[in-house]
């Protein structure tokens, strides 16, 4: 079993590149808290260096939304998520497929969903047809002939770097269009050691090595990396993705390994 570690700064640069390619057009963006009825929330630090300031505000608070919410709607985004793969090493979109995005927008809510579909069915008319059968946030539009998971349309050279890049890419694509309480991955910062700005209570024995790494097995791979969630409730996470032969659709486990000791 071969294990390859990756410098944290390398993974951070890969993530930033992907984020930069997935920025929604201004016309499709919506302020996270557009209503004066929304309650005040704790500010999220811009970096891990500012994490210590978060604890000056006292106990962890969950985001709360006004009970009065206007009905939202789904629409087809002009963003092409496939552009994120153009310059990524070791990965590419399978020939004949494209990635498309639907956005959900309401006064306070925002979400998105990405599908992989055959190029022949990527017309606007075909994509908008699926909106007619969509519901709320829990019932997004799914166009005809869409793959079950968009990562099924991704292929690569099966190198260690291809797997760890795929793990970051997948999480960024899942976060497209999210706003407010629906944001998840965007609150996570990649780490290779516990941030010193807080004291941590570990759920089990503290891992000796928090560096991003890939374990290669015969025809399979496992990716492991750690993050710090910088929005309340602040916590450290361990992420494990397992890749089976011939695919880049992983089985993922995202688990809290440490919480702030108060």
Q: Spell out where the chain has E strands.
A: 2-5, 73-76, 91-93, 97-105, 110-118, 154-156, 188-191, 200-202, 213-217, 220-229, 235-243, 251-260
Residue 41 inside a domain? The answer is no
Residue 180 inside a domain? The answer is yes
Residue 176 inside a domain? The answer is yes
Is residue 169 within 8 A of residue 84, CB to CB? The reply is: yes
**Which residue range is the domain that position 145 belongs to?**
2-15+72-260
Over residues 168-199, the pLDDT tens digits come to 999 999 999 999 889 999 999 999 999 999 99
What's the whole-model pTM score? 0.85
Q: How many distinct structural domains can be found in the chain?
A: 1
Over residues 61-116, the pLDDT tens digits come to 334 433 334 468 999 999 999 999 999 999 999 999 999 999 999 877 899 999 99
Residue 189 inside a domain? The answer is yes
Residue 62 inside a domain? The answer is no
Q: Please give the DSSP secondary-structure letter assigned to residue 179.
A: B
**Rounded distance between C-alpha atoms, residue 239 and residue 210, angstroms:** 11
What tokens appear for 174 in the block? Answer: 């899942």
1 band by pLDDT with thresholds 50, 70 and 90 = confident
pLDDT at 53: 53
Peptide bond into 233 cis (omega under 30): yes
């Amino acid at each position: 079993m071969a294990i390859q570690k990756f410098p944290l700064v390398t993974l951070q640069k890969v993530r930033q590149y992907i984020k930069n390619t997935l920025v929604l057009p201004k016309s499709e963006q919506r302020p996270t808290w557009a209503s004066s009825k929304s309650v005040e929330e704790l500010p999220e630090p811009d970096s891990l260096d500012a994490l210590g300031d978060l604890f000056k505000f006292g106990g962890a608070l969950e985001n709360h939304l006004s009970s009065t919410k206007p009905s939202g709607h789904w629409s087809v985004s002009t963003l092409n998520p496939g552009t994120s793969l153009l310059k990524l090493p070791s990965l590419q979109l399978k020939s004949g497929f494209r990635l498309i995005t639907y956005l959900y927008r309401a006064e306070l809510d925002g979400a998105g969903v990405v599908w992989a579909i055959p190029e022949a069915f990527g017309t606007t008319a075909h994509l908008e047809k699926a909106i007619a059968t969509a519901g709320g946030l829990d019932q997004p539009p799914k166009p005809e002939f869409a793959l079950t998971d968009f990562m099924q349309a991704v292929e690569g050279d099966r190198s260690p770097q291809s797997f760890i890049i795929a793990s970051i890419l997948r999480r960024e694509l899942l976060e497209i269009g999210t706003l407010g309480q629906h944001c998840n991955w965007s609150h996570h910062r990649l780490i290779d050691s516990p941030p010193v700005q807080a004291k941590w209570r570990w759920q089990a024995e503290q891992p000796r090595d928090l560096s991003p790494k890939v374990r290669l097995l015969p025809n399979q791979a496992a990716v492991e990396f750690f993050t710090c969630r910088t929005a309340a409730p602040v916590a450290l996470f361990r992420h494990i993705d397992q890749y089976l032969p011939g695919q880049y659709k992983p089985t993922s486990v995202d688990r809290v390994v440490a919480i702030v000791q108060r």
